[in-house]
């Protein structure tokens, strides 16, 4: 009961302060501050004339509130969004503003209407702030810092307000808008908010126009130099076209005369018709480098910074390795085990980044399920890149098993800032063991 009361108070307070902050103009704040000062100084009307200032300012505020009821802009909108955005980078796009009225509309401001970041009661009760156990008893019982943390985590983007030029009667206007996404995944845009100031410039009328759309925000990426990844070229049955293990075709390399026993499906019918004798297509299997990019999704809480950074590291490798002469298998476990292949014409980097934008921590399965999927694909890969969230015995045993099987391994462990890790099974190749402390991940990756 006490928790629910606190939740309702925090929710109401946050909503009121947000709406009031958007509704009052900078000049309006000066008027309101002056109104309060005049009220305090003008209590005794026989000693000061401050009450006259109070009367004047109060009249201005009342008239501004009254006038705001008549400000009803009528507009329609159309967004021109890019296909993707990237977390931490500005998302710029255009909005087409249409004025259906027979008169111009001026002095308007425009801003995106983003989803409400306030958490649900269940989320507020069940999701602690990182390090909350270090706070004093009063702060833990009141939960204000937890509330602020959850609001910040649920805020997926920051919108920039723009002042619209005068929109002519029955005219259109194309306006540049900008968002700053802070989280990967789907960013849901609810509509547009138009702010109209009153004649006194104290308050602004808020009118929302529904325009729901969604844009995919890709994970943040770090700059990684060209990396000499572990492993050598390895035989791939079916060549490049079958590198994703779909079907049994081989790589067509030349034409030759028919030999007894050649399958009919290999006959090149155009050459047969031209030469008058059977000619078949010759195929050849290929050898090339194929790496597994293994992402640890286990044993992390909701809104984990460690997990988000691990996803960013995986996205950085998938984006960089695409430019090199190799294939990359992304392996992770969510509701089920997944393996996606990209590189050398098999898949697009954008597709893998989209997958990483949607990946979530796994709480239903154990780390052994990730180990199983890696071992199932081990015969085809030249080396394994592991991005881990912990360096416990289970993960060290997994790395040791890969090494015993003769597979080159490159290990990254995302850690807290002050964590110190022993290389363990990677002691014989310390250059292939890279702890990535929070706050220094970009710096460490640049050293590769």
| Segment 323-377, tens digit of pLDDT | 456 788 899 988 888 888 887 655 578 888 999 999 999 888 899 999 999 998 8
| Per-residue model confidence as pLDDT tens digits over 258-304 | 777 777 777 777 877 887 888 777 655 555 678 899 999 998 877 78
pLDDT at 322: 56
Q: Is residue 242 part of a domain?
A: no
Residues 271 and 361: beta-carbon distance below 8 Å: no
| Residue 273 shares a structural domain with residue 318 | no
Strand partners, 227: none
Q: How confident is the prediction for the chain on average, in pLDDT?
A: 86
Q: Is residue 163 part of a domain?
A: yes
| Residue 205 shares a structural domain with residue 275 | no
Q: Is residue 272 part of a domain?
A: yes
Output DSSP code: residue 176.
E
| Per-residue model confidence as pLDDT tens digits over 390-416 | 999 999 999 999 999 989 999 999 998
Q: Is residue 440 part of a domain?
A: yes
| Residue 111 shares a structural domain with residue 180 | yes
| Per-residue model confidence as pLDDT tens digits over 147-204 | 999 999 999 999 999 999 999 999 999 999 999 999 999 999 999 999 999 999 999 9
Dihedral Cα 224, 226, 229, 233, nearest 10 deg: 140
pLDDT at 249: 37
Give the rounded percent of residues in the chain with a pLDDT score beyond 70: 90
| Residue 261 shares a structural domain with residue 325 | no
Q: Which has the higher per-residue pLDDT, 119 or 275?
A: 119
Q: Residue 252 above 70 pLDDT?
A: no
Which of 239, 267, 284 marks a domain boundary? 284
Q: Which has the higher per-residue pLDDT, 7 or 41?
A: 7
Q: Is residue 293 part of a domain?
A: yes
| Residue 261 shares a structural domain with residue 377 | no
pLDDT at 243: 43
| Residue 160 shares a structural domain with residue 17 | yes
pLDDT at 266: 73
pLDDT at 195: 96
Q: Which has the higher per-residue pLDDT, 124 or 262?
A: 124
| Residue 300 shares a structural domain with residue 438 | yes
Overall average pLDDT of the 246-267 stretch: 62
Q: Residue 418 above 50 pLDDT?
A: yes
| Residue 79 shares a structural domain with residue 24 | yes
The CB-side HSE value for 240 (13 A sphere, CA atoms) comes to: 13
The tally of domains found in the chain comes to: 3
Q: Which has the higher per-residue pLDDT, 355 or 254?
A: 355
Which of 176, 193, 218 marks a domain boundary? 218
Q: Is residue 112 part of a domain?
A: yes
Overall average pLDDT of the 77-89 stretch: 95
| Residue 203 shares a structural domain with residue 344 | no
pLDDT at 115: 95
Host domain of residue 68: 2-117+155-218
| Phi, psi at 134, each rounded to 5° | -85, -10
Find all residues with CB under 8 Å of 370, minimum gap 6, and list them. 294, 296, 297, 298, 331, 332, 333, 337
Give the rounded percent of residues in the chain with a pLDDT score beyond 90: 58
Largest CA distance in the chain: 120
Give residue 381's pLDDT band: very low, low, confident or very high (50, 70, 90).
Answer: confident
| Residue 266 shares a structural domain with residue 305 | no
CATH code: domain of residue 201? 2.60.40.10
Strand order from edge to edge, sheet including 327-333: 337-342, 327-333, 290-295, 383-388, 409-415, 433-437
Output DSSP code: residue 106.
-
| Residue 64 shares a structural domain with residue 208 | yes
**C-alpha to C-alpha distance for 405 and 388, rounded to whole angstroms:** 20
Q: Is residue 141 part of a domain?
A: no
Which of 260, 284, 308 marks a domain boundary? 284
Q: Is residue 126 part of a domain?
A: no
pLDDT at 238: 44
Number of helices and strands in the chain (H, E):
12, 19
pLDDT at 230: 60
Overall average pLDDT of the 125-137 stretch: 89
| Residue 179 shares a structural domain with residue 294 | no
């Amino acid at each position: 009961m006490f928790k629910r009361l606190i939740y309702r108070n925090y929710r109401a307070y946050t909503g009121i302060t947000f709406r009031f902050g958007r509704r009052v103009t900078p000049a309006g704040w000066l008027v309101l501050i002056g109104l309060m000062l005049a009220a305090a100084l003008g209590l005794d009307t026989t000693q000061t004339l401050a009450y006259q200032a109070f009367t004047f300012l109060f009249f201005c505020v009342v008239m501004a509130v009254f006038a705001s009821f008549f400000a009803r802009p009528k507009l329609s909108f159309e967004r021109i969004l890019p296909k993707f955005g990237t977390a931490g980078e500005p998302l710029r796009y255009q909005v087409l503003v249409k004025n259906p009225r027979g008169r111009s509309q001026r002095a308007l401001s425009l801003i995106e209407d983003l989803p409400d970041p306030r958490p649900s009661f269940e989320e507020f009760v069940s999701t602690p702030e990182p390090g909350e156990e270090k706070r004093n008893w009063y702060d833990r019982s009141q939960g204000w810092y937890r509330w602020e943390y959850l609001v910040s985590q649920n805020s997926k983007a920051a919108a920039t307000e723009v002042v619209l030029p005068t929109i002519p009667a029955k005219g259109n206007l194309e306006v540049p808008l900008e968002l700053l996404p802070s989280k990967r995944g789907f960013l849901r845009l609810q509509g547009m908010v138009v702010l109209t100031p009153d004649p006194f410039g104290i308050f602004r009328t808020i009118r929302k126009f529904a325009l729901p759309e969604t844009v995919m925000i890709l994970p943040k990426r770090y700059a990684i130099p060209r990396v000499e990844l572990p492993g050598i070229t390895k035989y791939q049955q079916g060549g490049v076209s079958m590198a994703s293990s779909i079907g049994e075709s081989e790589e067509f390399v030349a034409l030759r005369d028919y030999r007894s026993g050649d399958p009919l499906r290999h006959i090149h019918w155009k050459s047969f018709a031209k030469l008058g004798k059977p000619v078949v297509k010759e195929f050849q299997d290929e050898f090339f480098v194929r790496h597994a990019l293994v992402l640890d999704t286990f044993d992390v809480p909701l809104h984990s910074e460690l997990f988000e950074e691990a996803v960013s590291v995986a996205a950085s490798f998938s984006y960089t390795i695409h430019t090199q002469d190799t294939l990359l298998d992304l392996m992770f476990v969510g509701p089920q085990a997944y393996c996606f292949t990209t590189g050398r014409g098999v898949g697009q980097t954008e597709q893998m980044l989209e997958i990483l934008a949607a990946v979530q921590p796994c709480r239903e399965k154990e780390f052994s399920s990730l180990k199983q999927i890696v071992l199932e694909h081990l015969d085809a890969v030249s080396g394994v890149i592991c991005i881990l969230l912990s360096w416990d015995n289970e993960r060290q045993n997994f790395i040791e098993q890969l090494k015993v099987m003769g597979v080159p391994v490159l290990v990254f462990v995302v850690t807290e800032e002050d964590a110190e890790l022993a290389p363990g099974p990677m002691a014989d190749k310390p250059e292939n063991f890279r702890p990535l402390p929070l706050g220094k991940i970009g710096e460490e990756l640049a050293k590769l």
